[in-house]
Amino acid sequence: MSISQATWRWTALIGLWAAVCAIGWLMAIQAFMVLLHSLGTWHRPGITQVQVLRVDQDENSSFTDYVLVKVGEEERTLCMLKKEAAELRADEEVWVLNNYYATPLRPAQFRLTPLRLLVEYPEPLLILALLGIWRVRRAQARAAKIVSNQPRKPLQDDFHMRAQRFGAPKPPGSE
């Protein structure tokens, strides 16, 4: 059993629109978090490879810990989530994602993972989903144009023609 191209296109459209809605919801929550926590500070986003020197517990925060790292020859202190900081070991080299807006509830840095990158910066994925919607809609329009240009073949209904043999005879010369 094969699935028609129209079905594939509609399935792709539904999936892409679901992705756009989910990304829009995520961006709305991020905007709400920024508005809610006016005590935060803006940072330049970026990705850095660091070498972990030490992980220190932050007694004042239940969400974040401090991580002493070495970037090149310079030592820096990063503020990371407790779970991510607990997974780090001394002399380990990791990639770190700098957060664009740090608050008391959101740390200034995260460990770089594909999921974290998509959660913190969903805009490129949103652009790709909208581009996909545009391409699928264009393909649907092209397919509809091809179908509308084909000549229509009327169906021949022989059932009613066969049923007329039991009807009243036609007067001569009426055909």
Write the pLDDT tens digit of every residue in 129-153.
999 999 999 999 998 888 777 777 7
Average pLDDT over residues 91-115: 87
Write the pLDDT tens digit of every residue in 14-29.
999 999 999 999 999 9
Does residue 71 or residue 58 have the better pLDDT?
71
Output the pTM of the full model.
0.65
Same-domain status, 6 and 58:
no
pLDDT at 58: 83
Range of the domain at 100: 46-120
* CA dist list (Å): 125 to 34, 66, 86, 128, 144: 21, 31, 30, 5, 29
CB 102 within 8 A of CB 40: yes
CATH of residue 54's domain is: 2.40.50.140
CB 132 within 8 A of CB 123: no
Please check whether residue 170 lies inside any domain of the structure.
no
CA distance 113 to 87: 13
Instruction: Domain count for the chain, please give it.
Output: 2
Same-domain status, 128 and 143:
yes
Same-domain status, 84 and 129:
no
